């Protein structure tokens, strides 16, 4: 699935997410819900949070970060070499937000649904049996 399609699906499903950016393996923005500047800001926030979490937990990969800011939250979820970073409404259902972000990242690996080719009708020729 294309990043913009996964993003649109995510935003349709999750009413708790306010801003979101989907990042590639090296941290570049694949798709985002805000302006390019806001998406780049979210990418920087995600990189800084992952680096800080790595300092706290140096023995393993960090695949989920949640920061409660009182009036909103920030989530960073990594899966399959990609990352999603989102801001949410106040007091979100954390498990649901993480599930939605992971689902969007997994959808990027899915092949696009292709419609089967339309069968072409052959020209119909009526044969007069009496001729």
**CATH at 87:** 3.30.450.30
- Give the range of the structural domain holding residue 56, as residue numbers without chain letter: 3-107
pTM given for the model: 0.82
Tens of pLDDT, residue by residue over 53-99, are 988 887 878 899 999 999 999 999 999 899 999 999 999 999 999 99
Poorest-pLDDT segment among 53-62, 93-102, 108-117, 121-130: 121-130
Tens of pLDDT, residue by residue over 15-64, are 999 999 999 999 999 999 999 999 999 999 999 999 999 888 878 788 99
Does residue 32 fall inside a structural domain? Answer: yes
* Model confidence at 128: pLDDT above 80: no
Does residue 113 fall inside a structural domain? Answer: no
Does residue 114 fall inside a structural domain? Answer: no
Total domains in the fold of the chain: 1
Token duo for residue 53: 């979490």
Task: Return d(Cα 38, Cα 41) in angstroms, integer.
Answer: 5
Does residue 75 fall inside a structural domain? Answer: yes
* Model confidence at 117: pLDDT above 90: no
Does residue 124 fall inside a structural domain? Answer: no
Does residue 51 fall inside a structural domain? Answer: yes
Does residue 127 fall inside a structural domain? Answer: no
Does residue 50 fall inside a structural domain? Answer: yes
């Amino acid at each position: 699935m294309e990043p913009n399609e996964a993003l649109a699906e995510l935003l349709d499903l999750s009413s708790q997410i306010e801003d979101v950016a989907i990042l590639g393996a090296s941290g570049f923005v694949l798709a985002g819900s805000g302006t390019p500047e806001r998406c780049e800001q979210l990418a920087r926030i995600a990189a800084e949070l992952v680096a800080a979490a790595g300092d706290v937990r140096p023995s393993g990969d960090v695949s989920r970060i949640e920061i409660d800011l009182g009036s909103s939250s920030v989530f960073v979820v990594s899966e399959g070499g990609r990352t999603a970073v989102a801001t949410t409404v106040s007091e979100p259902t954390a498990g649901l937000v993480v599930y939605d972000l992971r689902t969007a990242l997994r959808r990027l690996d899915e092949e696009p649904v292709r419609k089967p080719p339309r069968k072409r009708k052959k020209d119909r020729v009526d044969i007069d049996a009496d001729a």
